[in-house]
A and B are shown apart, each in its own frame.
Chain A
């Protein structure tokens, strides 16, 4: 899964760096069928952290599928949650 053993000095093309791949992933999440601007993708140590809230479990699976495709070979930690649809249990009093 981890491809970090070959650094730039070892001949890995700069265009394949995790930063650019993450940027392309976010472009694809935003502009593709998903229209998903609310998912954050960050490098954390040697892994990639994916967080955010999406409207449905179906959306979550779609996002995860796209992440796996774009970041093949990178270790990905995912913490995407689905929006809560329950009624509130209290109101805020505005003075």
Chain B
């Protein structure tokens, strides 16, 4: 069993320095890794990123993060990423990381993701250049997620997790105004997850949403935005797959 701690939307700045560290210091007792689902800062400044870095440096468990839209606001996302990496975090955008959890190898594929909406009410790649680019950005993020999950599968991880900021499914947005769903996530992320396969999908972004959801393909989705979970983080116990059994099934397919 793998113990996964996760939180998103911590929106840190100088006025919240040190507020999460007491809870994060308990992580080695209750979790094998910490996932950060984006919006770690309020405006994406380097100063705010340093506050986050101090919060996660030397925690005693691996930290894997994606950035959110707030972390892009100041157009310093590369510097924000560098500051977090300097503190020891894996920061993913269309990439993957493999961390040890006890005897298991846990693969995390990450992307910020983007909006566009969900099946039956989604944006199309049509019309003005900015509209087409909107959809293309979302598609590029989803393509990166799918490729990263497929890479983790080839590498033979014991569990694979999809980590995004935007939501792959509408269920975890329940509580948000229906009209803004296209700005909160995209079905393209869920399609990537279901195509490549994953054991769990974790996202943030929707502060007024709900914690629990599932993709069409049956992958559990958890919205870990801090206002949703009402804690410094939540912990999920994920059973380790029987890889030998899964391999036998695949061989006969």
A: which residues have CB within 8 A of B?
A: 34-35, 37-38, 40, 52-56, 58-59, 83-88, 90-95
Contacts and interface: CB of A to CB of B under 8 A. Distances in A.
B13 A55 contact: yes
Contacts of A90: 235
Nearest to B212: A92
B19 A88 contact: no
Interface in B85-125: none
A92 to B, nearest CB: 5
Interface stretch (B147-155, B223-231, B242-250): B223-231
A49 to B, nearest CB: 13
B42 A55 contact: yes
Given A35-B70, A40-B208, A55-B13, A91 B235 contact: yes
Nearest to B211: A92
A87 B232 contact: yes
B200 A35 contact: no
Contacts of B11: 54-55, 83
Given A86-B23, A87-B23, A92 B200 contact: no
Interface string B52-74: 00000000000000000010010
A94 B202 CA distance: 13
Interface of B: 3, 9-13, 15-16, 19-20, 22-23, 26, 30, 42-43, 70, 73, 177, 200, 207-208, 220, 226-227, 229-239
Contacts of A86: 23, 231-232
A91 B3 contact: yes
A94 B208 contact: no
B12 A93 contact: no
A91 B30 CA distance: 9
Given A38-B208, A56-B16, A94 B200 contact: yes
B208 A35 contact: no
Given A35-B43, A38-B227, A83-B227, A94 B238 contact: yes
Contacts of B220: 94
A35 B42 contact: yes
Given A38-B227, A91-B3, A85 B19 contact: yes
A93 B43 contact: no
B23 A94 contact: no
B187 to A, nearest CB: 22
A83 B226 contact: yes
Contact of B234 (A85, A92, A93): A92
Nearest to B21: A85
